[in-house]
Structure 1
């Protein structure tokens, strides 16, 4: 899988618009401001393919990217407080609608900010993925903001808090300095096979 060959396909604002799932899909889910767009751009090695904003909660659609017989799916960030209730409801419908469809889920990458304890919403997402039996990995973002020792301490705390099995892939990563990006690419490649 050549991450240089990623192309933006389309955005969808409601789940009923989503195209049929014809190839393996790798979905990215996480809170608003967890650094999802920045991480995707680092994975793609392209600046601006996934839209990055200074204002959290800008990804209000499901964005599809095509790469070598697979599809990368950027889900809207959840949990942003500064949005109207109707907009939050639409985002929630989009995310739930996506997961409730019969899709070719190869991997869901759940992004959690390594600097803090996981939020209730993060716990709910991981709990849902575990209950649904979906293949998933956890990417601990913004690792460049912590020392190596703090990273290890936070990683252990989050594994415990999120009740992760020993075989759940967990990647400490940073879109700022590239930490964990190759490991994440390898996980995605093997999931898409």
Structure 2
């Protein structure tokens, strides 16, 4: 799979605003600051397609990007960010759950976890949700450039154990900074 064209379509607040053209969708989920926007920018080779920030919790809407005029990448709000109100967290949860449960064109869900940290209970719940709804789990360990190769191996084991992944399931390693893992991830998604 080669991405030749990528364009922002809409930041949607409610389902009525989602694209209605029945193109397939691949959703990206993860904690705030797990690197969803950076990953989308790296996959599409566009530096500012998805908005990135050093401040977690910036993605608050459901963002749709059309890829090769054929399908969508969908950047969902990050979860688990502590510096927002309980009401806002609850609203984000409803938006994410509504999209994931009710969105018919959704075909794949990519779960991003920061390889430097043990997955949170929210990450575990999301992984279980992906499996419960019969999606093939694609787990991506981001920010691998920020730790040593020895630490990566140890941390991947912790991630796999914490999420409760089956022995045959793989974790994709990804670095937006070093552009590592692009081909493998694209292959896993298609």
Bigger drift between 4-13 and 55-64 goes to 4-13
Q: Does the CA-based 8 Å contact 1:14-1:90 persist in structure 2?
A: no
Distance 1:86 1:159 in 2: 31
Partner of 1:54: 54
Q: SS of the residue aligned with 1:187? A: helix
Q: Quote how far apart the aligned CAs of 1:121 are.
A: 0.5
Runs of 4+ with deviation above 6 angstroms: none
User: Match for residue 166 of structure 2?
Assistant: 165
Provide the C-alpha distance between the structure 1 equivalents of 2:25 and 2:136, rounded to a whole number of angstroms. 11
Q: TM (normalized to structure 2)? A: 0.93
Structure 2 Cα separation of the partners of residues 126 and 8 of structure 1? 27
* Distance change >3 Å, CA 126–CA 21, structure 1 → 2: farther
* Aligned-pair CA distance for 1:17: 3.2
Aligned residue in 1 for 2:65? 65
Give the equivalent residue in structure 2 for 1:132: 133
Q: 1:186 to 1:171 in 2, by over 3 A?
A: same
Q: Distance in 1 between matches of 2:178 and 2:185?
A: 14
Cα distance in 1 between the residues matched to 2:162 and 2:36? 21
CA 1:100–1:145 in structure 2 vs 1: closer, same or farther (change >3 Å)?
same
- CA offset digits 1:76-107 (Å, max 9, x no partner): 00111111222212211110110121412221
2: distance between equivalents of 1:168 and 1:6? 29
Name the count of aligned residue pairs: 189
| The 10-residue stretch of structure 1 (4-13 or 167-176) with the greater mean CA deviation from structure 2 | 167-176
- Paired with 2:73 and 2:159, the residues of 1 have a C-alpha distance of 25
Q: Distance in 1 between matches of 2:103 and 2:12?
A: 17
In the alignment, which residue of structure 2 is the partner of 1:30?
Answer: 30
TM-score scaled to structure 1, two decimals?
Answer: 0.92
Residue of structure 2 in register with 1:103 after alignment: 104
* Unaligned segments of structure 1, at least 5 residues: none
Worse overlay, 38-47 or 158-167: 158-167
Aligned position for 1:112:
113
Q: CA deviation at 1:169?
A: 3.9
Q: Distance in 2 between matches of 1:51 and 1:185?
A: 21
Secondary structure of 2:4's counterpart equals helix
Q: Contact between 1:65 and 1:72, CA under 8 Å: does it hold in 2?
A: yes
Which digits, 9 at most, give the CA deviation of each residue in 1:22-63, with x for residues without a partner? 122110000001111111111111111100112110000000
